[in-house]
Amino acid sequence: MSTNYGWPENDESKKLLIEQVRSFAQSEIAPKAKEFDETGRFPAEVVKQLGEMGLMGMMVPEEFGGAGMDAVSYAMAMEEVAAACASTAVIMSVNNSLVCWPLQAYGTEEQKKKFLTPLARGEKLGCFALSEPGHGSDPAGLKLQAIATDGGYKLRGTKNWITNGREADFAIVFATVDKALGHKGICAFIVDTKAQGFQVSKLEDKLGITASSTAQLFFDDVFVPADCLLGNVGQGLKIALSTLDGGRIGIASQALGIARCALDASKKFAMEREQFGAKIAKLQAIQFFIADMATRLQAARLLTWNAARMKDLGLNYTKEAAMAKLAASEASVWIANKAIQVHGGYGYTKEYVVERNYRDSKITEIYEGTSEIQRIVIAAQEMSG
């Protein structure tokens, strides 16, 4: 498949990046993706290689161990990794967008040296603990308590749906110092998962992205030193929501990669499969599927790169990131569904990658804000002026 998407024009460094990441993803990740999916094995060796290639802290400045690249490059690399393995892609996305980014944006110099640098180098892995059993779409009402104590805080409560929760070395944890303060009581903390009282209390058994862990975390009076408060007391919800703006570009890119894999598999299958005495690629019904799949994919890709470019330019990109995530995730599910239709009965079997694409695509409409939440964000921004 060509690396020329018509945008950004004549950007040789980005074309080179796509070629390098694609070559690595197709040779080192794609051949193992079926095994990762079937066994649910965490792709530790691949994550280590991603770290060595600078892909676990892509947008972090080099002085803090990152690759110093822009968000458009990040979106492009994410698509390539996701086209090979969606589980690996979300592990990478959470570390880059949901962990490195808030540390870079809100962390002190000391916090950046101590936590951001090993995370960006891929030597450590992070997770983002915002959601709770009763607070997924509505994090402003979260309940995990941060109780002030000598030299810091004690965290008490439960977090749910935490990607990388089983493997993470550090967690960005959101907790409230006083529920009566509403969202003005929410704080962000950097938690060492080796701290006493930190427990992985449940692992979810999922439809797709099976090789990435989705954990419930229990905080049994976990002590967090005062210097591990990220940002200020009461700033936690803003940190979470601004982080999710960037996270949505990552998930949009993951959705693009899954969809591209499904489209590529469909084109290959249509050119090989014969029915009625000819390749099915000759049938207009199949050609129309392929045309619609390619068009929806490219539309979603351009929305995603637009959001990333706005982030790189320092503009407010909340709406554009929500549009990108909405369009890319819905396109991904639609394209994966059509890919199975192109494959007929074969597409419903585990022998063909489109079956995995279909299962993996669904989560992109749910995590880091459901499609309904993205519509709420877009409508609010549209109507605010």
Binding site for ligand CAA (CB under 6 A): 94, 128, 130-131, 137-140, 161-163, 183, 237-238, 241-242, 244-245, 318, 367-369, 373, 376-377
Beta bridge partners of 279: 274
In sequence order, the 6+-apart residues with CB closer than 8 A to the CB of 138 are none
| Cis before 225 (ω within 30) | no
- Cα dist. 359→88, 108, 209, 336 in Å? 15, 40, 8, 9
Structure tokens at 83: 């086209």
User: 192 phi and psi, to 5 degrees?
Assistant: -80, 120
- Single out the catalytic residue among 109, 351, 368, 382: 368
What is the nearest approach in angstroms of ligand CAA to the Cβ of residue 380? 7
Cα angle, residue 133 at apex, residues 327 and 94 outer, rounded to 5°:
45
DSSP conformation letters of 93-141? HIIIIIIIHHHHHH--HHHIIIIIHHHHTTSS-EEEE--BTTBSS-GGG
Cβ-Cβ contacts under 8 Å for 22 (sequence gap 6 or more): 3, 80, 83
How far apart are CB 182 and ligand CAA at their closest, in Å?
A: 9
As measured in angstroms, the least distance from the Cβ of 266 to ligand CAA is: 28
CA distances from 71 to 42, 59, 76, 271, 307 (A): 26, 7, 9, 36, 9
Cβ proximity to ligand CAA, 122 vs 165, nearer residue: 165
Name the residue nearer to ligand CAA (CB basis): 24 or 42: 42
Shortest Å distance, C-beta 113 to ligand CAA: 25
Q: How far is the CB of 85 from ligand CAA (least distance, A)?
A: 16
Whole-number Å distance between alpha carbons of 375 and 92: 26
Q: Which of 183/273 has CB closer to ligand CAA? A: 183
Output the CA angle 173-175-179, nearest 5 degrees: 165
In angstroms, the first-to-last Cα distance of the chain is 41
Residue with Cβ nearer ligand CAA (153 or 367): 367
Residue 115 or residue 174: which is nearer to ligand CAA going by CB?
Answer: 174
Is 368 among the residues known to form the active site?
Answer: yes
Min dist. Cβ of residue 211 to ligand CAA (A): 15
Task: Give the residue with the Cβ less far from ligand CAA, 78 or 342.
Answer: 78
- Please identify, using beta-carbon distances, which residue of 131 and 176 lies nearer to ligand CAA: 131
- b/e map of 53-91 (b: 16 or more CB within 10 Å)? ebbbbbbbeeebbbbebbbbbbbbbbbbbbbbbbbbbbb
In whole angstroms, how close is the CB of 367 to ligand CAA at the nearest point? 4
CA–CA dist 8, 20 (Å, integer): 17
The Cβ of residue 168 has, within 10 Å, a number of other Cβ atoms equal to 28
Kindly list the catalytic residues: 368
